C-alpha cells in the first residue's frame, strides 16, 4: 500500500459528502442514509473486546472479522476484535485514522458494500507488547484466533517445533517478551494460569492441514521447554479446534481504494475486496463462549478433515498450479489463466482424474459440484486475483496442496502425471526467477539461491536438487522412481516447449493429467 494523499472523489450520492470526507464513526451515521451500504447494527461504542486475532491481514478482514460482524449484527455480544500485527504497523497506522472501520466490497455480478466495525483496535508487537499481553491475559478475552500463514507455525518437516527458527530461539531466551505467535500464546496462557483466569480457545484459521493440531504441537513443544507444569495445564485445558477457511480475497490495490471510496462516498484508505462465496468450517472442539457464528453460516462439525482436504486439494492445489504454470505462460491473474481453454482443461482434468478420489469428502459435500464451482469462481471477471500473490511461499504451500495428493495417489496406485506437471512448473518458476534475478518471496529463497544446479542444471539434475531439500521433501518422494521420472519429463517438456517457441499450454496438452 502506498501512502496516498486523499484523492478527489465524486460521490455518487450527491449531497452530504465532501470529496475529502474520511471514513469514521461520525461519517457512519451519514452512510446509514445510503440504502446500498450495510453498516454495523450493534452499538459499537458499547461493545467489548472478546477476541484477539493475530495477523489482521486482508484475509482476516474479509472472512473471520465479517462472520463476527454479522454475528454481532444478528445476536450482539462483546465480540469486538483486537488485532495483533506481529511485524508490520501499516494496518494499525492506516486503520487507526478511520476508527478501525473499513469497507468490505463483495464482488459478484454487482458489488455489495458493507462497513465492518468488528475490529476495535490493532496493536503492534515490539511497540505495544505489554498491551498485547494484557489483552491475552484478560478474562474478557475468550478466543485467540490466528491467520499467520504457513511459515509462522515454525514447525520442521517432522511437524515438531523448529528450535532453530530465529523467532523461536529468541523467544526461548526471553519468553516474557515474545515475538512469535507461539511465544505470545504461551506467555498469555502463563499469565492466565498465574492469575487464575480460564484458558481461551485457540482458533487457527490458516490454510494448513490439521491447523489446530499443528499449532497445538508447536505450542506444547515450546511450553515444555519453558515450564512443564504450564505445558501440562495447556494440554488439559486449551482447545485448539481445526478449521477450514475459504473466500478468495485479492490484494487491495490503489484502484480498489479509489473505486470503493467513490462508491461509499467517503475516503477509505484500506478497503478489502473478496468474492461472494465464503465458507468457514470449525471443529466442534471448544472451551468457553463464542459469537453466534453458527447463526451466520459457520459450520461446526466433527469432520473438518474432509472439508479441509477438499479445499486444500481442489481450490488451493489448482490455484498453485495456475500460479506457476500460468505465470510461466505470461498470465497475470487467475481469471486470465482459467479463461484459456487449455489451462482450464488441464486444471479440470487434474481435479477430476488425480485429486477427487485421493480423499474421502465429507458427506455434506457434493464433490463433483464443488470442484466445478471452483472453476466457476476462478472465472469471476470481477475478481482480479494476481498469480504473483498466490505464488508466494511456494515451498510451504506445496507441502499442503500438492505433495500429500502425490503421496496418497502413489499409495493407492493412482496417477500423478498432472500433479508432477504442477510441481515441475513450480521448479521452473523458481529456476527462471534465479536466472533472471527476480526476487523470490519464499522463506527458502536463500536455500534456492545457494544451489547452482537450479541456475544451469539439466532437468534431471534440477529435479534431484529440489528433492534433496529436507525442509520440503522427505525421502519417500526423493527415492521414488516414478516421481523422479515424471517430474523430469514434465520439466523437460516445459523447457523444450519454451525453447521451440511453443507455449506452456502446449506442454500442458502434451502431458495432461492421466485418466483415473
* DSSP-assigned states of every residue in 95-131: HGGGTT-EEEEEESSSEEEEEE--EEEEEETTTSHHH
Distance between CA atoms of residues 26 and 490, nearest Å: 58
Shortest distance (Å) from residue 426 CB to ligand CS2: 12
Site for ligand CS2 in 53-72 (CB under 6 A): none
Shortest distance (Å) from residue 338 CB to ligand CS2: 13
Site for ligand CS2 in 182-211 (CB under 6 A): 207
Q: Pick between residue 222 and residue 280 the one whose CB is nearest to ligand CS2.
A: 280
Closest CA to 22 of 270, 253, 199, 207: 270
Shortest distance (Å) from residue 143 CB to ligand CS2: 21
Residue at shortest CB range from ligand CS2: 319
Shortest distance (Å) from residue 147 CB to ligand CS2: 10
Neighbouring residues of 384: CB distance < 8 A, sequence distance ≥ 6? 250, 253, 333, 335
Interface segment toward ligand CS2; rule CB under 6 A; list 45-53, 89-97, 314-322, 430-438: 314-322
Q: Pick between residue 389 and residue 502 the one whose CB is nearest to ligand CS2.
A: 389
Shortest distance (Å) from residue 203 CB to ligand CS2: 16
Closest CA to 504 of 514, 513, 515, 493: 493
Residue in the structure block whose three cell numbers are 444478528: 74
Sheet holding 49-54, edge to edge: 119-124, 80-85, 49-54, 143-146, 201-204
Closest CA to 24 of 273, 265, 272, 274: 265
Residues 37, 390, 420, 463: which binds ligand CS2 (CB under 6 A)? 390
Shortest distance (Å) from residue 251 CB to ligand CS2: 9
Element (DSSP H or E) covering residue 144: strand 143-146
Q: Pick between residue 263 and residue 390 the one whose CB is nearest to ligand CS2.
A: 390
Cell digits for 430?
523458481
Q: Pick between residue 387 and residue 504 the one whose CB is nearest to ligand CS2.
A: 387
Distance between CA atoms of residues 434 and 449, nearest Å: 7
Q: Pick between residue 62 and residue 101 the one whose CB is nearest to ligand CS2.
A: 62
Q: Pick between residue 275 and residue 506 the one whose CB is nearest to ligand CS2.
A: 275
* DSSP-assigned states of every residue in 255-302: HHHHHHHHHHTSB-SS-EEEES--EEEEES---S---S-GGGTPEEES
Q: Pick between residue 128 and residue 147 the one whose CB is nearest to ligand CS2.
A: 147
CA-based diameter of the chain, in Å? 70
Angle at 180 between CA 98 and CA 467, to 5 degrees: 115
The count of chain residues that interact with ligand CS2, using the rule CB under 6 A, is 10
Site for ligand CS2 in 134-153 (CB under 6 A): none
Q: x-or-dash pattern for ligand CS2, window 222-261, by CB under 6 A?
A: ------------------------xxx-------------
Neighbouring residues of 460: CB distance < 8 A, sequence distance ≥ 6? 484, 488
Q: Pick between residue 92 and residue 397 the one whose CB is nearest to ligand CS2.
A: 397
Shortest distance (Å) from residue 474 CB to ligand CS2: 22
Phi and psi at 318, nearest 5°, equal: -65, -35
Q: Pick between residue 79 and residue 280 the one whose CB is nearest to ligand CS2.
A: 280
Mark 403-435 as b/e (b = at least 16 C-beta within 10 Å). Answer: bbbbbbbbeeebbbbbbbbbbbbbbbbbbebbe
Q: Pick between residue 127 and residue 253 the one whose CB is nearest to ligand CS2.
A: 253
Shortest distance (Å) from residue 274 CB to ligand CS2: 9
If one counts every other C-beta atom within 10 angstroms of the C-beta of residue 253, the result is 13
Q: Pick between residue 266 and residue 310 the one whose CB is nearest to ligand CS2.
A: 310
Shortest distance (Å) from residue 320 CB to ligand CS2: 7
Shortest distance (Å) from residue 232 CB to ligand CS2: 35
Shortest distance (Å) from residue 313 CB to ligand CS2: 12
Q: What is the dihedral of CA 482, 486, 487, 493, to 10 degrees?
A: 160
397 is an interface residue for ligand CS2 by CB under 6 A: yes
Shortest distance (Å) from residue 145 CB to ligand CS2: 16
Contact 272, 102 (CB under 8 A): yes
Element (DSSP H or E) covering residue 201: strand 201-204
Interface segment toward ligand CS2; rule CB under 6 A; list 158-166, 252-260, 389-397, 487-495: 389-397
Q: Pick between residue 200 and residue 359 the one whose CB is nearest to ligand CS2.
A: 359
Residues 137, 316, 384, 490: which binds ligand CS2 (CB under 6 A)? 316
Site for ligand CS2 in 345-384 (CB under 6 A): none
Eight-class DSSP state of 44 = G
Contact 395, 410 (CB under 8 A): no
Cell digits for 474?
522427505
Binding site for ligand CS2 (CB under 6 A): 207, 246-248, 315-316, 319, 389-390, 397
Amino acid at each position: 500500500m502506498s501512502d496516498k494523499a486523499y484523492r478527489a472523489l465524486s460521490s455518487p450520492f450527491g449531497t452530504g459528502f465532501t470529496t475529502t470526507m474520511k471514513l469514521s464513526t461520525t461519517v457512519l451515521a451519514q452512510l446509514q442514509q445510503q440504502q446500498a451500504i450495510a453498516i454495523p447494527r450493534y452499538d459499537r461504542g458499547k461493545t467489548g473486546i472478546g477476541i484477539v486475532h493475530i495477523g489482521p491481514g486482508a484475509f482476516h478482514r474479509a472472512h473471520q472479522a465479517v462472520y463476527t460482524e454479522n454475528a454481532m449484527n444478528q445476536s450482539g455480544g462483546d465480540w469486538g476484535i483486537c488485532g495483533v500485527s506481529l511485524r508490520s504497523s501499516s494496518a494499525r497506522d492506516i486503520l487507526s485514522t478511520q476508527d478501525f472501520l473499513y469497507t468490505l466490497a463483495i464482488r459478484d455480478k454487482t458489488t455489495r458494500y458493507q462497513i465492518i466495525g468488528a475490529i476495535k483496535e490493532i496493536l503492534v508487537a515490539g511497540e505495544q507488547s505489554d498491551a498485547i499481553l494484557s489483552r491475552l491475559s484478560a478474562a474478557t478475552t475468550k478466543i485467540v484466533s490466528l491467520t499467520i500463514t504457513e511459515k509462522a507455525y515454525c514447525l520442521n518437516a517432522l511437524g515438531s517445533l523448529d528450535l532453530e527458527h530465529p523467532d523461536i530461539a529468541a523467544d526461548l531466551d526471553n519468553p516474557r517478551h515474545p515475538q512469535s505467535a507461539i511465544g505470545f500464546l504461551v506467555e498469555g496462557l502463563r499469565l492466565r494460569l498465574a492469575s487464575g483466569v480460564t484458558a481461551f480457545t485457540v482458533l487457527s484459521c490458516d490454510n494448513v492441514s490439521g491447523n489446530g493440531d499443528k499449532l497445538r504441537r508447536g505450542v506444547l513443544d515450546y511450553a515444555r521447554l519453558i515450564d512443564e507444569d504450564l505445558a501440562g495445564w495447556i494440554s488439559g485445558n486449551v482447545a485448539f479446534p481445526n478449521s477450514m477457511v475459504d473466500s478468495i480475497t485479492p490484494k487491495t490495490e490503489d484502484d480498489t481504494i479509489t473505486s470503493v471510496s467513490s462508491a461509499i462516498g467517503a475516503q477509505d484508505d484500506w478497503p478489502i475486496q473478496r468474492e461472494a462465496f465464503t465458507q468457514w468450517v470449525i471443529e466442534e472442539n471448544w472451551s468457553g463462549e463464542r459469537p453466534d457464528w453458527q447463526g451466520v453460516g459457520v459450520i461446526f462439525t466433527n469432520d473438518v478433515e474432509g472439508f479441509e482436504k477438499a479445499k486444500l486439494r481442489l481450490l488451493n492445489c489448482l490455484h498453485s498450479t495456475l500460479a506457476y504454470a500460468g505465470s510461466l505462460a505470461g498470465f497475470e491473474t487467475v481469471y486470465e489463466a482459467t479463461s484459456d481453454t487449455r489451462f482450464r482443461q488441464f486444471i479440470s482434468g487434474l481435479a477430476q482424474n488425480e485429486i477427487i478420489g485421493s480423499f474421502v469428502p465429507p458427506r455434506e459435500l457434493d464433490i463433483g459440484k464443488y470442484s466445478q464451482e471452483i472453476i466457476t469462481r476462478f472465472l469471476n471477471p470481477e475478481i482480479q486475483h494476481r498469480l504473483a500473490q498466490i505464488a508466494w511461499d511456494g515451498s510451504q504451500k506445496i507441502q499442503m496442496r500438492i505433495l500429500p495428493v502425490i503421496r496418497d495417489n502413489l499409495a493407492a496406485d493412482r496417477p500423478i502425471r498432472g500433479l508432477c506437471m504442477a510441481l515441475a512448473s513450480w521448479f521452473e518458476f523458481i529456476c527462471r526467477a534465479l536466472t533472471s534475478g527476480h526476487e523470490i518471496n519464499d522463506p527458502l529463497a536463500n536455500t534456492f539461491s545457494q544451489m547452482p544446479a537450479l541456475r544451469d542444471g539439466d532437468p534431471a539434475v534440477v529435479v534431484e536438487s529440489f528433492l534433496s531439500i529436507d525442509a520440503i521433501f522427505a525421502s519417500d518422494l526423493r527415492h521414488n522412481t516414478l516421481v523422479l521420472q515424471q517430474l523430469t519429463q514434465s520439466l523437460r517438456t516445459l523447457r523444450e516447449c519454451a525453447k521451440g517457441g511453443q507455449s506452456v499450454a502446449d506442454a500442458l496438452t502434451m502431458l495432461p493429467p492421466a485418466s483415473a
